[in-house]
Amino acid sequence: MIEIQNVRKSFGQLEVLKGIDLNVAKGEVVTVIGGSGSGKSTLLTCINGLEPIDSGRIVVDGTEVHAPKTDVNRLRQKIGIVFQQWNAFPHLTVLDNVTLAPRKVLGLGKAEAEAIGEKQLRHVGLGDKLTTYPSRLSGGQQQRMAIARALAMSPDYMLFDEVTSALDPQLVGEVLETLRMLADEGMTMICVTHEMSFARDVSNRVAYFHKGIMAEIGPPQQIFGDPQHPETRQFLASVR
Protein backbone atom coordinates (compact mmCIF):
# COMPACT_ATOMS: atom_id res chain seq x y z
CA MET A 1 0.00 0.00 0.00
CA ILE A 2 0.90 3.67 -0.24
CA GLU A 3 1.11 5.56 3.06
CA ILE A 4 1.41 9.33 2.97
CA GLN A 5 1.95 10.89 6.39
CA ASN A 6 1.93 14.63 7.07
CA VAL A 7 3.83 15.44 3.89
CA ARG A 8 4.98 19.01 3.43
CA LYS A 9 6.67 20.38 0.36
CA SER A 10 7.66 23.88 -0.70
CA PHE A 11 9.08 25.38 -3.85
CA GLY A 12 11.07 28.31 -2.49
CA GLN A 13 8.72 30.41 -0.36
CA LEU A 14 5.63 28.68 -1.74
CA GLU A 15 4.31 25.80 0.33
CA VAL A 16 2.40 23.59 -2.11
CA LEU A 17 1.72 20.57 0.14
CA LYS A 18 0.72 21.56 3.66
CA GLY A 19 0.61 18.31 5.57
CA ILE A 20 -1.00 15.67 3.38
CA ASP A 21 -2.20 12.40 4.93
CA LEU A 22 -3.50 9.66 2.67
CA ASN A 23 -3.35 5.87 2.64
CA VAL A 24 -4.12 4.00 -0.54
CA ALA A 25 -4.80 0.30 -0.11
CA LYS A 26 -4.00 -2.43 -2.62
CA GLY A 27 -6.62 -2.47 -5.37
CA GLU A 28 -8.00 0.90 -4.43
CA VAL A 29 -8.70 3.67 -6.95
CA VAL A 30 -8.36 7.17 -5.52
CA THR A 31 -9.07 10.14 -7.73
CA VAL A 32 -7.72 13.56 -6.87
CA ILE A 33 -9.66 16.63 -7.92
CA GLY A 34 -9.10 20.31 -7.23
CA GLY A 35 -8.23 23.64 -8.76
CA SER A 36 -5.11 24.43 -10.72
CA GLY A 37 -2.06 24.91 -8.48
CA SER A 38 -3.57 23.03 -5.53
CA GLY A 39 -0.64 20.58 -5.40
CA LYS A 40 -2.09 17.54 -7.16
CA SER A 41 0.79 16.96 -9.59
CA THR A 42 3.37 17.69 -6.93
CA LEU A 43 1.90 14.95 -4.73
CA LEU A 44 2.23 12.38 -7.54
CA THR A 45 5.83 13.32 -8.29
CA CYS A 46 6.65 13.06 -4.57
CA ILE A 47 5.07 9.61 -4.35
CA ASN A 48 7.38 8.13 -6.94
CA GLY A 49 10.40 10.04 -5.67
CA LEU A 50 10.78 12.42 -8.59
CA GLU A 51 10.56 15.29 -6.09
CA PRO A 52 12.03 15.47 -2.59
CA ILE A 53 9.74 16.35 0.33
CA ASP A 54 10.48 18.73 3.20
CA SER A 55 8.93 16.68 6.00
CA GLY A 56 6.61 13.78 6.66
CA ARG A 57 6.88 10.32 5.11
CA ILE A 58 5.77 8.45 2.05
CA VAL A 59 5.98 4.69 2.41
CA VAL A 60 5.29 2.30 -0.46
CA ASP A 61 5.04 -1.39 0.43
CA GLY A 62 7.05 -0.73 3.56
CA THR A 63 9.82 1.21 1.82
CA GLU A 64 10.20 4.87 2.70
CA VAL A 65 10.47 6.65 -0.65
CA HIS A 66 12.69 9.53 0.50
CA ALA A 67 14.95 7.66 2.93
CA PRO A 68 18.60 8.08 1.90
CA LYS A 69 19.16 4.32 1.69
CA THR A 70 16.18 3.71 -0.59
CA ASP A 71 16.95 2.65 -4.14
CA VAL A 72 14.57 5.09 -5.84
CA ASN A 73 15.09 3.66 -9.30
CA ARG A 74 14.06 0.24 -8.11
CA LEU A 75 11.07 1.64 -6.26
CA ARG A 76 9.98 3.57 -9.34
CA GLN A 77 9.73 0.35 -11.30
CA LYS A 78 6.72 -0.61 -9.23
CA ILE A 79 5.08 2.82 -9.53
CA GLY A 80 4.11 3.68 -13.10
CA ILE A 81 3.32 7.30 -13.86
CA VAL A 82 1.57 8.73 -16.92
CA PHE A 83 1.38 12.45 -17.57
CA GLN A 84 -0.76 14.72 -19.72
CA GLN A 85 1.66 14.23 -22.52
CA TRP A 86 4.54 11.93 -23.16
CA ASN A 87 7.00 12.66 -25.91
CA ALA A 88 7.66 9.30 -27.48
CA PHE A 89 10.86 8.79 -29.44
CA PRO A 90 9.72 9.72 -32.97
CA HIS A 91 12.27 7.54 -34.75
CA LEU A 92 11.21 4.39 -32.86
CA THR A 93 8.14 2.31 -33.60
CA VAL A 94 5.35 2.09 -31.04
CA LEU A 95 6.61 -1.33 -29.93
CA ASP A 96 10.21 -0.14 -29.63
CA ASN A 97 9.08 2.84 -27.56
CA VAL A 98 7.25 0.50 -25.21
CA THR A 99 10.10 -2.02 -24.91
CA LEU A 100 12.85 0.54 -24.33
CA ALA A 101 12.56 0.70 -20.53
CA PRO A 102 12.07 -3.05 -20.01
CA ARG A 103 15.24 -3.62 -22.03
CA LYS A 104 17.37 -0.79 -20.61
CA VAL A 105 16.11 -0.70 -17.04
CA LEU A 106 15.04 -4.30 -16.40
CA GLY A 107 17.69 -5.74 -18.70
CA LEU A 108 15.27 -7.99 -20.56
CA GLY A 109 16.29 -9.54 -23.86
CA LYS A 110 14.69 -8.30 -27.07
CA ALA A 111 12.31 -11.23 -27.50
CA GLU A 112 11.10 -11.17 -23.92
CA ALA A 113 10.66 -7.38 -23.90
CA GLU A 114 8.77 -7.53 -27.18
CA ALA A 115 6.45 -10.23 -25.91
CA ILE A 116 5.60 -8.03 -22.91
CA GLY A 117 5.31 -4.89 -25.04
CA GLU A 118 3.03 -6.59 -27.51
CA LYS A 119 0.85 -7.97 -24.73
CA GLN A 120 0.46 -4.54 -23.13
CA LEU A 121 -0.20 -2.80 -26.45
CA ARG A 122 -2.93 -5.35 -27.21
CA HIS A 123 -4.26 -4.78 -23.74
CA VAL A 124 -4.81 -1.07 -24.43
CA GLY A 125 -6.23 -1.78 -27.88
CA LEU A 126 -3.13 -0.98 -29.94
CA GLY A 127 -2.28 -4.51 -31.07
CA ASP A 128 -2.44 -3.39 -34.70
CA LYS A 129 -0.04 -0.44 -34.19
CA LEU A 130 3.14 -2.24 -33.17
CA THR A 131 5.20 -1.17 -36.17
CA THR A 132 3.58 2.24 -36.55
CA TYR A 133 5.51 5.42 -35.65
CA PRO A 134 4.13 7.54 -32.80
CA SER A 135 3.42 10.55 -35.03
CA ARG A 136 0.88 8.44 -36.93
CA LEU A 137 -1.19 7.84 -33.79
CA SER A 138 -4.08 10.00 -32.63
CA GLY A 139 -3.73 11.78 -29.29
CA GLY A 140 -5.85 9.14 -27.61
CA GLN A 141 -3.76 6.34 -29.10
CA GLN A 142 -0.57 8.12 -27.98
CA GLN A 143 -1.87 8.27 -24.42
CA ARG A 144 -2.78 4.58 -24.55
CA MET A 145 0.75 3.88 -25.82
CA ALA A 146 2.07 5.82 -22.80
CA ILE A 147 -0.08 3.66 -20.52
CA ALA A 148 1.18 0.47 -22.22
CA ARG A 149 4.73 1.71 -21.78
CA ALA A 150 4.17 2.14 -18.05
CA LEU A 151 2.44 -1.26 -17.78
CA ALA A 152 5.33 -2.97 -19.56
CA MET A 153 7.39 -2.43 -16.38
CA SER A 154 4.84 -4.58 -14.46
CA PRO A 155 4.08 -1.87 -11.89
CA ASP A 156 2.08 -2.54 -8.73
CA TYR A 157 0.80 1.04 -8.69
CA MET A 158 -0.19 3.48 -11.39
CA LEU A 159 -0.31 7.25 -11.04
CA PHE A 160 -2.19 9.21 -13.70
CA ASP A 161 -1.86 12.97 -13.99
CA GLU A 162 -4.64 14.49 -16.09
CA VAL A 163 -4.00 12.01 -18.86
CA THR A 164 -6.97 13.24 -20.88
CA SER A 165 -6.49 16.99 -20.44
CA ALA A 166 -4.55 17.57 -23.66
CA LEU A 167 -6.95 15.54 -25.79
CA ASP A 168 -9.69 16.62 -28.15
CA PRO A 169 -13.03 15.87 -26.47
CA GLN A 170 -13.87 13.01 -28.84
CA LEU A 171 -10.67 11.18 -27.83
CA VAL A 172 -11.14 11.43 -24.06
CA GLY A 173 -13.51 8.46 -23.83
CA GLU A 174 -11.15 5.83 -25.22
CA VAL A 175 -8.45 6.76 -22.70
CA LEU A 176 -10.90 6.80 -19.78
CA GLU A 177 -12.11 3.36 -20.90
CA THR A 178 -8.53 2.10 -20.63
CA LEU A 179 -8.24 3.51 -17.10
CA ARG A 180 -11.57 1.96 -16.19
CA MET A 181 -10.37 -1.41 -17.48
CA LEU A 182 -7.24 -1.21 -15.31
CA ALA A 183 -9.37 -0.31 -12.31
CA ASP A 184 -11.66 -3.27 -12.98
CA GLU A 185 -8.61 -5.53 -13.13
CA GLY A 186 -7.68 -4.45 -9.63
CA MET A 187 -4.79 -2.09 -10.36
CA THR A 188 -4.05 0.25 -7.46
CA MET A 189 -4.35 3.74 -8.93
CA ILE A 190 -4.20 7.39 -8.03
CA CYS A 191 -5.77 9.48 -10.78
CA VAL A 192 -5.63 13.25 -10.92
CA THR A 193 -8.49 14.19 -13.19
CA HIS A 194 -10.91 16.89 -14.28
CA GLU A 195 -13.33 14.25 -15.53
CA MET A 196 -15.92 14.30 -12.78
CA SER A 197 -18.07 11.53 -14.23
CA PHE A 198 -15.00 9.28 -14.32
CA ALA A 199 -14.20 10.20 -10.72
CA ARG A 200 -17.77 9.46 -9.71
CA ASP A 201 -18.02 6.12 -11.52
CA VAL A 202 -14.60 4.57 -11.07
CA SER A 203 -13.19 5.77 -7.74
CA ASN A 204 -13.36 4.07 -4.41
CA ARG A 205 -12.56 7.45 -2.91
CA VAL A 206 -12.31 10.99 -4.19
CA ALA A 207 -9.89 13.50 -2.61
CA TYR A 208 -10.49 17.20 -3.03
CA PHE A 209 -7.33 19.35 -2.93
CA HIS A 210 -7.49 23.04 -2.12
CA LYS A 211 -4.36 25.22 -1.84
CA GLY A 212 -2.08 22.43 -0.71
CA ILE A 213 -4.52 20.87 1.71
CA MET A 214 -6.59 17.75 1.23
CA ALA A 215 -9.77 19.51 2.24
CA GLU A 216 -12.01 16.51 1.90
CA ILE A 217 -11.85 12.82 1.05
CA GLY A 218 -14.56 10.22 0.88
CA PRO A 219 -16.54 7.89 -1.32
CA PRO A 220 -17.78 9.52 -4.54
CA GLN A 221 -21.40 9.51 -3.34
CA GLN A 222 -20.37 11.68 -0.42
CA ILE A 223 -18.04 14.07 -2.25
CA PHE A 224 -20.41 14.62 -5.16
CA GLY A 225 -23.69 14.16 -3.34
CA ASP A 226 -23.04 15.76 0.02
CA PRO A 227 -19.74 17.68 0.09
CA GLN A 228 -18.91 18.88 3.59
CA HIS A 229 -16.63 21.78 2.80
CA PRO A 230 -17.75 25.03 1.16
CA GLU A 231 -14.66 24.94 -1.10
CA THR A 232 -15.61 21.49 -2.40
CA ARG A 233 -19.13 22.72 -3.15
CA GLN A 234 -17.80 25.78 -4.94
CA PHE A 235 -15.32 23.75 -6.95
CA LEU A 236 -17.92 21.19 -8.00
CA ALA A 237 -20.33 23.95 -9.00
CA SER A 238 -17.58 25.52 -11.14
CA VAL A 239 -16.79 22.32 -13.07
CA ARG A 240 -20.35 21.16 -13.65
The residues binding ligand ADP (CB under 6 A) are 11, 14, 16, 34, 36-42
CA distances from residue 71 to 3, 24, 42, 64 in whole angstroms, order as listed? 18, 21, 20, 10
30 contacts 191 by C-beta, under 8 angstroms: yes
Handedness of CA 95, 100, 106, 109 (dihedral sign): positive
CB of 14 to ligand ADP, least distance (A): 6
Question: Which residue lies nearer to ligand ADP by CB, 42 or 188?
Answer: 42
CB of 27 to Mg ion, least distance (A): 25
Q: Look at residue 42 and give the partner it binds from Mg ion, ligand ADP, none, a contact being a CB closer than 5 to 8 Å depending on partner kind.
A: ligand ADP
Q: Look at residue 16 and give the partner it binds from Mg ion, ligand ADP, none, a contact being a CB closer than 5 to 8 Å depending on partner kind.
A: ligand ADP
CB of 217 to ligand ADP, least distance (A): 15
In this chain, which residue has its C-beta nearest to Mg ion?
Answer: 41
Local structure of 89: helix, strand or coil: coil
Local structure of 82: helix, strand or coil: strand
Sheet-wide strand order for 14-24: 14-24, 2-11, 55-60, 63-64
| Residue 41 binds Mg ion, judged by CB under 5 A | yes
Question: Which residue lies nearer to ligand ADP by CB, 11 or 107?
Answer: 11
Question: Which residue lies nearer to ligand ADP by CB, 39 or 117?
Answer: 39
CB of 161 to ligand ADP, least distance (A): 7
Q: What is the 3-state secondary structure (H, E, C) of 16-59?
A: EEEEEEEEECCCCEEEEEECCCCCHHHHHHHHCCCCCCCEEEEE
Question: Which residue lies nearer to Mg ion by CB, 10 or 70?
Answer: 10
Phi-psi region of 160 (alpha: psi -120 to 50; beta: other; left: phi over 0): beta
Question: Which residue lies nearer to Mg ion by CB, 25 or 166?
Answer: 166
CB of 168 to ligand ADP, least distance (A): 21
204 contacts 22 by C-beta, under 8 angstroms: no
Binding site residues, Mg ion, CB under 5 A: 40-41
